[in-house]
Amino acid sequence: MRTSSDNEKANSYLRRGLHELSRHKPAKALGLFRKSIELTPPSCEKRLSRAFYWLSIALLQLNKRDLAVRSLANAQRMNRKGYIRRFYVRHVNGYGMIKQPTKELDDLYAFLSIQLSFYLVKRPNYRFSSEAEHSIILSFLLNAWKSIKDSQEFESLDCSEKLMLFNKLKIEFPAFAPDSMVQRKKERQFLQSSMAYIQPCSCGSGLPFMQCCGRTRGISEL
């Protein structure tokens, strides 16, 4: 049970984090923002949203972009209006991932993240066993990507249709993979049409599911 003392500590950690951020020390600020979040009760949504927002700024300054998006997604769910929502929409693409310099790179990173997730779910501890395995699988997926992006049909798809394609696509991975036909996770099974991706998220954020709770995780989050 959180106490008034915890609330005071949460505010103190947030202020100290902002101070460290102003001194260009995002690594120090990171730990302070996380402590503030831990001590802030869920009922204090605006304060919690602010802490998550500044945590995402610290992560961005540390070039941990995928983790920053996850923190920013949490922030905007609790504060649907104002600068936090505007910042989220400006920096996050249709897949719910950090925006890349081009739409083709947006598509590529979404494809890689989804397919790597399918592959890793069958691996021990959800990890590659070696750098060699990682390199081979990544090269394999990049070759598969070339065939996908060069097809005429792909160019005509919108973001939700591409996401549905990436999730339905079954790739036969090299022989050292434990299962050549990687199965989709249970939480993806209900996504039977592109309509599911563009419907408002059930959390009440007002954003499409694919940009909110159903966002595609960044590669570094896998």
Q: Considering the domain boundaries, does residue 96 fall inside one?
A: no
Q: Are residues 209 and 167 in the same domain?
A: yes
Number of domains forming the structure of the chain: 2
CA neighbor of 138 nearest in space, from 181, 108, 99? 108
Final residue in a domain of this structure, among 91, 111, 144: 91
181 part of a folded domain: yes
Q: Output phi, psi for 208, to 5 deg.
A: -60, 150
| Type of residue numbered 82 | G
pLDDT by residue for the chain (222 residues), tens only, comes to 556 688 899 999 999 999 999 999 999 999 999 999 999 988 899 999 999 999 999 999 999 998 899 999 999 988 888 899 999 999 999 999 999 999 999 999 999 999 999 888 888 888 888 888 889 999 999 999 999 999 888 989 999 999 999 998 888 887 664 543 334 444 444 444 555 566 777 766 566 777 777 778 777 666
Do residue 74 and residue 127 come from a single domain?
A: no
**What is the C-alpha to C-alpha distance for residues 19 and 77, in angstroms, rounded to an integer?**
25
Dig out the tokens for 109 from the structure: 């990173």
Q: Is residue 15 part of a domain?
A: yes
Task: Name residue, tokens 């940009």.
Answer: 211
pLDDT of res. 198: 65
- Give CA–CA dist 119/128, Å, rounded: 9
Strand partners, 181: 172
Pair 214, 110 in one domain: yes
pLDDT at position 209 is 74
Both 39 and 126 in a single domain? no
Q: Are residues 33 and 61 located together in one domain of the fold?
A: yes
Which pLDDT belongs to residue 204? 63
Q: How many CA atoms lie within 13 A of 100 on its CB side?
A: 13
CATH number for the domain including 13? 1.25.40.10
Q: At a CB cut-off of 8 Å and minimum separation 6, what does 67 contact?
A: 59, 218, 220, 221
Q: Do residues 122 and 80 share a domain?
A: no
Structure tokens at 83: 């600068």
**What pLDDT is attached to residue 5?**
80
Are 84 and 141 in a shared domain? Answer: no
Check if the beta carbon of residue 21 is closer than 8 Å to that of residue 54. yes
**What's the domain range around 9?**
4-91
pTM metric for this prediction: 0.73
pLDDT at residue number 216? 81
3-state SS, the chain, equals CCCHHHHHHHHHHHHHHHHHHHCCCHHHHHHHHHHHHHHCCCCCHHHHHHHHHHHHHHHHHCCCHHHHHHHHHHHHHHCCCCHHHHHHHHHECCCCCECCCCHHHHHHHHHHHHHHHHHHCCCHHHCCCCHHHHHHHHHHHHHHHHHHHCCHHHHCCCHHHHHHHHHHCCCECCCCCCCCECCCCHHHCCCCCHHHHHCECCCCCCCEHHHCCCCCCCHHHC
Say if 66 falls within a structural domain. Answer: yes
Same-domain pairing of 107 and 216: yes
